[in-house]
Each structure stands twice: as structure tokens, then as C-alpha cells.
């Protein structure tokens, strides 16, 4: 049975919905058929058709669920049971050297970093000592392979936005000790919100008419690309998945051994919530089964409860460990109906559109003995903003074989809190406002707001707050040392 033919009546988790064939579904089906017919004679019509049928399946489920009166039963949601979340410090410390030989590493590499003002693949951004996200990942896995004399391959799931960039970048790794495989995740048509019809008019319409449907597309894309079958043919049994911009997501043999020892088919790394993580997806107990709950699925009247750390103490890091044989079994039986996340957007022309996306972690419900591992915060070190970038570039972190570790020179085990204002939001602004990254090894907290520039060899210690009022500019001179200081727009310096 083709993967995209999902039996919707089997879906019995958050929503109970029977398939419906309404006018919206029929109109979309007609438009998808027309789109497939626009593939050029020398194009790959079969692959495009497979992709569009997967999209149509997702759209049909969306329409069905939207029409259904039954929604998430909040009263059935509970915090995970003790056996559903295992503390990292309880994992085994005995390793079998042969286990790593069965592992492959996959990085979700489809992001553009548009929130930081980037236009190319985000993984090409220099983050530490002139090295990019990809450079660090390659260095980590090459060190792993060399140290243990094994062959752990690196797999990059790109999007149509980053694929060409990625192929160009990885050429420089040709002489290094690792195999790199790339494959493209699906490209789905954006949907006009008012008409519920696809934005693109032809299969080769402009990029802005399409979207990559979230990292939950990982499973379909692994199958359709042939990568899943190739990994199994190569003797790989386990896949470690993480986002390319999470610099804390390194191979951890303790977690791999735990997976093997417990016969878990799927593991999700979670970590304790802080104020910065209240919107992150969390694991829940739903009718006795473990599930991923995203904020987009939460009824508005329960949003505050979702964000609270009382009921939901942990969040999903999107570091996932998957048994490949189990994944093959699940996909051969018809695939996965992952919870749909509706992502509303406004185009440059001001048109309201929606994107139907899914989350990779939602697959946890499809696997046997699946559970969470509560890992140290050090395994979640994403670079989502220039505030994150400043921290990573600074002397707070050192590099060991491509892995970021907190410098032994720092007195505290946790990194400082950094909040840069809108003037530092884009990477180009960030770069021109720092002649050199300040020394912050002894920093606790930094807040910068307004038009502020940093000279060379600046040192920040303790709590430093810099606020330039509108129309004013603050220049921190070369060699300046600020310790427990508030510097306001009128250039008054106050000791904190």
C-alpha cells in the first residue's frame, strides 16, 4: 500500500475523526491533479506526484479534524508517569564498543535563519573560532569515527531552500573521515486561507509558493528518498536525530546503550523548563499513553497552564533516538498520522495563507516502549538569536573535538543570561556592533537596549545593563571594564 494512503479511521489519539469528502477536499484534489500535470516532460513526475499525494493526505486530515466537533480532552492530560521519563543520571555507564557501529546521525538542516537576517542555509553561519554549525558537527563525528575505528555516517535532511547551499558546502569535507549523505525533505504547496486552494499554479512556480512541512516530514522523506532502506542495508539500526543549530546535540553513548538495553524503539531527550522554554512542546500522559503536546494544540483557555512549570516541568529538545527497524515496520504498515500544526503566515503581497506542518517528536506514540530521557541542559544549546550567538562565540565556551563545553575558567556551571535588543536582531547588525566579542567569563547577566557599540578588548562582569534612549548612541570604548554597572542613555553610570 502506498505510504500516502492513510486510513484515517485508525486515528484515535487527540481527535476522533472519520474521513470526510467535502468540497474543500475535492477542490484541492482537483488542483493537485492539475499541478502534477504541469511537470515538464523531462521532470520527475512520479516523485512529484508521490509528494503531492502525501500533502493531499495531510490536507484531508486537516479538513476532517476541522469539521469534527471532538477536540483535545484537556481533562485526560496528565504529567508523565515516572516510568515515562527516565533521569539521565540513572542511565547505565557500561558500554559495548560495537554499539556505535550500528548508529547513524541525522541533522535537520532545512532552516534559513531568516529570524537572524540570513538568506542561505543557517548551518553555514560561523559560530565559534571561524567554524560553522556544520564544521562542528563534522569534527565531532570524525573524532568519534577515528577514536573508535568505526563508520558513523552523517545524514543531512535539507529543504528546497537549503539543498543547493548544503551540497556546495559539504564539498570541503571530501577528504575527512566520514560519509555524508544528503536528502531533500518534501516541498508542499502553501494554502490560501480563504479559498483553501494551493498557492502555486505550476510545479515549477516560485519558491515563495511552497514550504517545507516541518521536521515531522522526516519519516516520509527518509522512505521516499531511499535513505531508510540504505541505512538498514548498511547494518545501521539506530538513528540519532537533532536540529543542526543545537550545538549541545552530540552523540551520547549512555543514551544509545540505554536504548539498546531497554529495547526502546524511540527516545526523546527532554530537559527542565526555564522561563525561556515555556512555549516548547512537552511530553504528557494521555489516557495512559505517552504523547507530545505542542502549544499550537492547546486550547486558548489552557495556554497559561501549559506554560506553567507545575504541571509540565520538561520540554522537548528535539533530540530523538529512533530504532530504524521499528521505523521501517511502522512505515510499511501505512505510516504515521502525526498531529497537525497549523502555521498561519502573511505573504509579501499581504495574502493570508496557512502551512500544515508536523513535529518529528509526535511520532513517539507509534513506537513500543518509547519514553523520554531527562538530560542535562548542556544537551540543549540552540542558536536561535544573536543573543545566543554572542554567548557561543564568547570565552564562556571552549571547544573540545568540535563539542562546546563550558570553560574551566568560569566559576559557575551555568552560562550567563544575555538579552540583546532589536538593534542586534540581524546578523549584519550584530557583526558591526562588536569590533571584537567581549570577555564575559565572569558575567552573570547582560541586557543591551538601543544603539550600542562595543570596542575591542571590552570586559563585562557580574550584571551589566546598557540602555541607549531613542536618538542616542552609546560607544563602549576599547579596553573598557564594566562590572555590576547600569549605563543609561544620559551616560550616567550607576553601580548595581
pLDDT of residue 120: 82
Decide if 48 is inside a domain. Answer: no
| 143 annotated ligand-binding residue | no
Q: Tell me, what's the pLDDT at 495?
A: 62
Q: How many domains does the chain have?
A: 2
Domain co-membership, 412 together with 392: yes
* Domain endpoint, select from 379, 410, 436: 379
Same domain assignment for residues 306 and 408: no
Annotated ligand binding at 258? The verdict is no
Q: Could you tell me if 475 and 491 are in contact, meaning their C-beta atoms sit under 8 angstroms apart?
A: no
Is residue 23 situated within a structural domain? Answer: no
Q: Which residues are catalytic?
A: 384
Q: Which of 373, 381, 386 is nearest to 397 (CA)?
A: 381
Whether residues 344 and 426 fall in one domain: no
Confirm or deny that 245 is annotated as ligand binding.
yes
Final residue in a domain of this structure, among 346, 379, 412 = 379
Give a yes or no: residue 95 inside a domain: yes
CATH, residue 435: 2.160.10.10
Please check whether residues 100 and 245 belong to one and the same domain: yes
In a shared domain, residues 425 and 375: no
- The per-residue pLDDT for range 29-62, each reduced to its tens digit, is 999 999 999 998 877 899 999 999 999 999 999 9
Same domain, 367 and 484: no
**CATH number of 84's domain:** 3.90.550.10
**In a shared domain, residues 128 and 246:** yes
Predicted TM-score of the model (pTM): 0.91
Q: Is 185 annotated as a binding residue?
A: yes
Answer with the one of 355, 379, 403 that is the final residue of a domain: 379
pLDDT in the model for residue 6: 30
Q: Could you list the residue range(s) of the whole structural domain that residue 123 is in? A: 74-379
Same domain, 201 and 272: yes
In a domain, 106, yes or no: yes
198 domain residue, yes or no:
yes
Residue 139 marked as a ligand binder: no
Whether 190 and 284 share a structural domain: yes
Alpha-carbon dihedral sign for residues 187, 36, 7, 330: negative
| SS3 readout for 427-483 | HHHHHHHECCCCECCCEEEEEEECEEEECCCCEEEEEEEEECCCCCEEEECCCCEEE
Residue 149 lies in a domain: yes
- Cα–Cα distance between 366 and 52 in angstroms, integer? 24
Same domain flag for 390 and 373:
no
**What pLDDT sits at residue 430?**
97
- Residue 301 included in any domain: yes
Question: Same structural domain for residues 96 and 179?
Answer: yes
Least Cα distance to 198 among 207, 187, 209, 213 occurs for 209
215 labeled part of a ligand binding site:
yes
Q: Which residues of the chain have pLDDT under 70?
A: 1-21, 69-70, 489-496
Three-state helix/strand/coil letters over the chain: CCCCCCCHHHCCCCCCCCCCCCHHHHHHHHHHHHHHHCCCCCCCHHHHHHHHHHHHHHHHHHHHHHHCCCCCCHHHEECCCHHHEEEHHHCCCCCCCCHHHHEEEEEECCCCCHHHCCCCCHHHCEEECCEEHHHHHHHHHHHHHHHHCCCCCEEEEECCCCHHHHHHHHHHHCCCCCCEEEEECCCEECEECCCCCECCCCCCCCHHHEECCCHHHHHHHHHHHCHHHHHHHCCCCEEEEEECCECCCCCCHHHHHHHHHHCCCEEEEEEECCHHHCCCCEEEEECCEEEEECHHHCCHHHHHHHHCCCCCCEEEEEEEEEEHHHHHHHHHCCCCCCCCEEEEEECCCCCEEEEEECCHHHHHHHCCCCEEEECCHHHCCECCCHHHHHHHHCCCEEEECCEEEECCCCCCCCCCEEEECHHHCCHHHHHHHECCCCECCCEEEEEEECEEEECCCCEEEEEEEEECCCCCEEEECCCCEEEEEEECCCCCEEEC
CA 385 to chain centre: 14
Residue 316's Cβ-count burial label (10 Å; 0-12, 13-18, 19+) is: buried
Q: 451 and 340, same structural domain?
A: no
Task: Identify whether 13 is part of a domain.
Answer: no
The pLDDT of residue 112 is 84
Amino acid at each position: 500500500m502506498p505510504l500516502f494512503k492513510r486510513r484515517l479511521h485508525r486515528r484515535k489519539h487527540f481527535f476522533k475523526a472519520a474521513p470526510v469528502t467535502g468540497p474543500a477536499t475535492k477542490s484541492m484534489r482537483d488542483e493537485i491533479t492539475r499541478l502534477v500535470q504541469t511537470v515538464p516532460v523531462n521532470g520527475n513526475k512520479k516523485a512529484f506526484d508521490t509528494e503531492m499525494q502525501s500533502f493531499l493526505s495531510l490536507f484531508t486530515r486537516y479538513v476532517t479534524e476541522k469539521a469534527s466537533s471532538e477536540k483535545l480532552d484537556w481533562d485526560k492530560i496528565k504529567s508523565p508517569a515516572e516510568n515515562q521519563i527516565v533521569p539521565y543520571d540513572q542511565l547505565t555507564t557500561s558500554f559495548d564498543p560495537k554499539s556505535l557501529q550500528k548508529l547513524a546521525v541525522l541533522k535537520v538542516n532545512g532552516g534559513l535563519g531568516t529570524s537572524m537576517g540570513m538568506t542561505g542555509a543557517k548551518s553555514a553561519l560561523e559560530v565559534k573560532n571561524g567554524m560553522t554549525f556544520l564544521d562542528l558537527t563534522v569534527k565531532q563525528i570524525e573524532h568519534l569515527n577515528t577514536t573508535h575505528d568505526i563508520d558513523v555516517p552523517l545524514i543531512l535532511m535539507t529543504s528546497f531552500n537549503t539543498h543547493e547551499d548544503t551540497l556546495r558546502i559539504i564539498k570541503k569535507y571530501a577528504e575527512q573521515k566520514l560519509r555524508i549523505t544528503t536528502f531533500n525533505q518534501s516541498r508542499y504547496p502553501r494554502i490560501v486561507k480563504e479559498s483553501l486552494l494551493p498557492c502555486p499554479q505550476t510545479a515549477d512556480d516560485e519558491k515563495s509558493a511552497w514550504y517545507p512541512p516541518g521536521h515531522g516530514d522526516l519519516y516520509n522523506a527518509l522512505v521516499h528518498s531511499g535513505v531508510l532502506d540504505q541505512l538498514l542495508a548498511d547494518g545501521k539500526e539506530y538513528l540519532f536525530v537533532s536540529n543542526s543549530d543545537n550545538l549541545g546535540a552530540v552523540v551520547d553513548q549512555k543514551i544509545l546503550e540505554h536504548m539498546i538495553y531497554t529495547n526502546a524503539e524511540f527516545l526523546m531527550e527532554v530537559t527542565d523548563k526555564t522561563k525561556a522554554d515555556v512555549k516548547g512542546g512537552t511530553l504528557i500522559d494521555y489516557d495512559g499513553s505517552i504523547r507530545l503536546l505542542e502549544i499550537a494544540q492547546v486550547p486558548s483557555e489552557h495556554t497559561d497552564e501549559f506554560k506553567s512549570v507545575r504541571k509540565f516541568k520538561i520540554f522537548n529538545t528535539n533530540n530523538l533516538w529512533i530504532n530504524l527497524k521499528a521505523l521501517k515496520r511502522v512505515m510499511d504498515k501505512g505510516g504515521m498520522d502525526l498531529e497537525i500544526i497549523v502555521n498561519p503566515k502573511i505573504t509579501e503581497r499581504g495574502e493570508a495563507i496557512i502551512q500544515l506542518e508536523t513535529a518529528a517528536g509526535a511520532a513517539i506514540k507509534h513506537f513500543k516502549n518509547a519514553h523520554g530521557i531527562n538530560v542535562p541542559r548542556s544537551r540543549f544549546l540552540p542558536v536561535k538569536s544573536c543573543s545566543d550567538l554572542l554567548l557561543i562565540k564568547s570565552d564562556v565556551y571552549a571547544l573540545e573535538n568540535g563539542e562546546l563545553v563550558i570553560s574551566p575558567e568560569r566559576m559557575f556551571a551555568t552560562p550567563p543570561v544575555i538579552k540583546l535588543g532589536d538593534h542586534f536582531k540581524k546578523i549584519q547588525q550584530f557583526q558591526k556592533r562588536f569590533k571584537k566579542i567581549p570577555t564575559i567569563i565572569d558575567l552573570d547577566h547582560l541586557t543591551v537596549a538601543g544603539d550600542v557599540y562595543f570596542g575591542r578588548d571590552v570586559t563585562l562582569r557580574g550584571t551589566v545593563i546598557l540602555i541607549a534612549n531613542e536618538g542616542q548612541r552609546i560607544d563602549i570604548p576599547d579596553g573598557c571594564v564594566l562590572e555590576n554597572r547600569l549605563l543609561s542613555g544620559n551616560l550616567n553610570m550607576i553601580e548595581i
